[in-house]
Structure 1
Amino acid sequence: MKEVLNLNSSKWIWRSVSIVSIVTTLVLLVGFIYAIKDVNAPQVGTEAIERPSQQLGEGVADSMDSKKEYKIAAIGDSLAKGTGDETGSGFVKRSVEGLAKSSGKKTTLLNNLGINGLTTDGLVTKLDEEGVQYVLKQSDVIILSIGGNDLFQGAQLLSSAKGESETSAGAESTNSAHEVTAEKIQSALPKASAQLKVVLEKIRVINPDSYIVYVGLYNPFGDMKELKTVGNEAVTRWNNVALTTINKYENMTLVPTYDLFTHNLKRYLSSDHFHPNAEGYQQIANRIVQGIQ
C-alpha cells in the first residue's frame, strides 16, 4: 500500500514540476517577444532623443545630380554679400568656384542679393519684390544668410570686441560692447526666429524646386565674458529653430558654422570682429559645397 502511495506521490510531483516548467517557459517566451518588439519599435520619446541631427547634404534631391549646370543665387545679409573679405569674394563666389571645380559642371552666379544690415523683417518684405522673386525662380541653388543682425543688433558695425576705434569700410563708429547686451539678444530671439521660419517658407513657395542652403549662425562674441554664454545659447536655439523648419522639406539643408568659429575667432574673423575674413569665408564655402553635393 505504501509503495502505491509513494508511486502516486512521485507522479504528482513530476506532473507539478512539468507544469511549473511549462508556465515558466511561456512567461520567458512572452517576455522575449515583448523585448523584441521594444527593440524593433521603440517608443516615440526614446526615438526622438536618439535621432541624429540632419547631416550635411541630407535630403538633397536626386535631380541635383542630373542637372547639367548649376544656377546659383544668394540672398540675405552682409555675410551673403561678403563683407569683411578683403578679396570681395565672400562665401558666395567661393562656393560657386568650389562647386564648379568639384562637380565639373558649369556653375553660374545669377545674382548676389546680399544687403548689409538686413534683418529677417527686412527680408520678409524683400521677398515680395518682383525682381527678387525673378532671380530666385531661375535658381537651382539658393544660398541664404540671415539672423545675425537680429540677434546681435548693431553688431555688424562694431569696430572690435575690444573697443578699438578702427571700423570697416562704410561702417559708422560704434561703442563696441555697449551696442550688444544679453538683454537685447534674449529679447530679439522669439520674434526673429519666428520670422526666420516665414523667410524659409516664402522662399520655398517662390521656388519649390530649388535647393535651399541656409548658413547657420555663429557667436562672434565668444571671447567676451559677458556675451559668451548668452550668445552661445541664443545661437544654438536659433539654429535649432532653423533646423526644425528645414527638416520639413527635402530640398533644404543647414550648413553649420558655429563649430568653425568657436575656437577660431581670431583666425577666421575680420578686423570688425563680426564678419568672417577671407579664410573664414573659405571655410564656410567648403561646407556649402559639401552640403550641395
Structure 2
Amino acid sequence: MKSTRTLWRTVGGAALLATLLLIVGLVYAVADVINPKPAEWARPPDTPPAEQTKSSIDIVALGDSLTVGTGDVTGKGYVQRVREKLAALTKKQVNVIGNYAVNGNRTDGLLAALQNKSGIPYGIEKADVVLFTMGGNDLFAIGQDVMNSQSEQLDPAMVRVRLPEPLKRLEQIMAKLAELNPRAKIVYVGVYNPFYDIPDMRPATVYVQEWNDEAFRIASRYPNMAVVPTIDLFQLNIGKYMYSDHFHPNGEGYERIADRVVQALE
C-alpha cells in the first residue's frame, strides 16, 4: 500500500514538472514570436566598407588626345567634366591625381608606359577610378597606311585586315590595368568614326564598331571594368559635337562623353 502511494506521488510529481516545463516553453515561444531577435546576417557590420568611409575620390586618366582634351577650348575635356559631375553627385572631394594622356598616343605607346616601372603604374595603384581612351590613332593611322593608290580613297576592307594587332595590345593594356588595381573602377571610352559624314569613310564605321565590340568582350572578364560607347553620339551629330579639326570632340562633345562616364560610375 505504501509503495503504491509512493508510486502515485512520483507519477504526479513528474506530470506536474512536465506541465510546468511545457508552460515555460510556451511562454518563451510566444515571447520570441512577439519580440523576435534579429538574425545574425541582418546585423549591420561593425565597420562600413572602405569606399563608404573615404571622403574623397582619386582619378587617374591615361590614353591619347581625347583624354588630353584636345578640341575643347575650355581645356576641361571629358576628364575634368567627370571630376566636376562626380563631385556634385557624391558630395565628395574628387581629385585628378594624374593625367598621363599623350597626343597621338597609340596602343604600343600606352602598353610600354604601363610595363615601365615608372610613376604611371604607381598612380594607377593609388586611384579609385581609372579613365582611358585608346584606339583612334591606331585605327585611323592604319587608314592612312592603306590608301588605295589608284583612287586615293580609304579601303575599309584593308582597315579590317589590320585590326588584330592593336586589338591584341588593347587586351594586354586592359589586363595590365586590372592587375595594377583590381579594386578601382576602370572605364574605357570607346572609339567613334569622326569621318562618318564623308561618304567614302562611312563604311569604316563597321570596323570601328568591331573594335568596340571586342573591347566589350575583353572588359567583361574583369568585374571592375566597363566600356562606355560613344560611336552613336557622333554618328548623326558630327557637326554639333566635333571640333574644327574633324577628328576631336568640341566642348559639347566632351560634355556628352562625360555624362556617359558618370552614368557608368554611378
Q: Given the superposition, is the C-alpha separation of residues 109 and 84 from structure 1 closer, same or farther in structure 2, using an over 3 Å criterion?
A: same
* Mapped partners of 2:153, 2:110: distance in 1: 22
Cα distance, 1:63–1:178 mapped onto 2, change above 3 Å: farther
User: 1:17 maps to which residue?
Assistant: none
Corresponding position of 2:264 = 291
Separation of aligned partners in 1, 2:254 and 2:210: 23
The structure showing larger relative contact order (alpha-carbon pairs under 8 Å, at least 6 residues apart) is 1
Larger radius of gyration: 2
Pairing partner for 2:74 from 87, 91, 94? 87
Aligned AA (2:140): F
Alignment CA distance shift 1:120-1:204 (3 Å): same
In the other structure, the counterpart of 1:10 is none
Classify 1:196/1:132 alpha carbon distance in 2 versus 1 (closer, same or farther; 3 Å). Answer: same
Instruction: Give the structure 2 partner of residue 96 of structure 1.
Output: 83
d(CA) in 1 for partners of 2:94 and 2:143? 33
Q: Compute the displacement of 1:185 (Å).
A: 2.5
What's the TM-score, normalizing by structure 1? 0.68
Over aligned residue pairs, what C-alpha RMSD do you find? 2.1
Contact 1:72 1:108 in 2 (8 A): yes
Contact 1:79 1:275 in 2 (8 A): yes
Asked if 1:217 corresponds to 2:191, the answer is: yes
Q: For 1:100-157, what per-residue CA distance to the aligned partner results, in whole angstroms no more than 9, with x for missing partners?
A: 011111101101111011111111101023111111111000001000000011889x
SS in 2 for 1:153: helix
Q: Is the 8 A contact 2:133 2:190 kept in 1?
A: yes
Partner SS state of residue 223, structure 1: coil
Please name the residue that 1:105 is paired with. Answer: 92
Residues 247 and 154 of structure 1, relative CA distance in 2, 3 Å threshold: closer
Structure 1: 5+ residue runs without aligned partners? 1-61, 157-176
Give the C-alpha shift of residue 242 in structure 1.
0.6
Residues 180/134 of structure 1: CA separation in 2 closer, same or farther (3 Å cut): farther
Q: Which residue of 2 aligns with 1:41?
A: none
Secondary structure of the 1:213 match is strand
Q: Which residue number corresponds to residue 72 of structure 1?
A: 59
**Correspondent of 1:147 among 115, 127, 135:** 135
What's the counterpart of residue 257 of structure 1? 230
Runs of 4+ deviating beyond 2 Å: 62-68, 177-188
Matched position secondary structure for 1:114:
coil
Change (3 A) 1:221 1:64: farther
Measured against aligned partners, the alpha-carbon deviations of 1:78-97 in whole angstroms (never above 9, x if no partner) come to 00110111111100001001
State the TM-score, normalized to the length of structure 2: 0.75
Unpaired runs of 5+ residues, structure 2, are: 1-48, 145-150
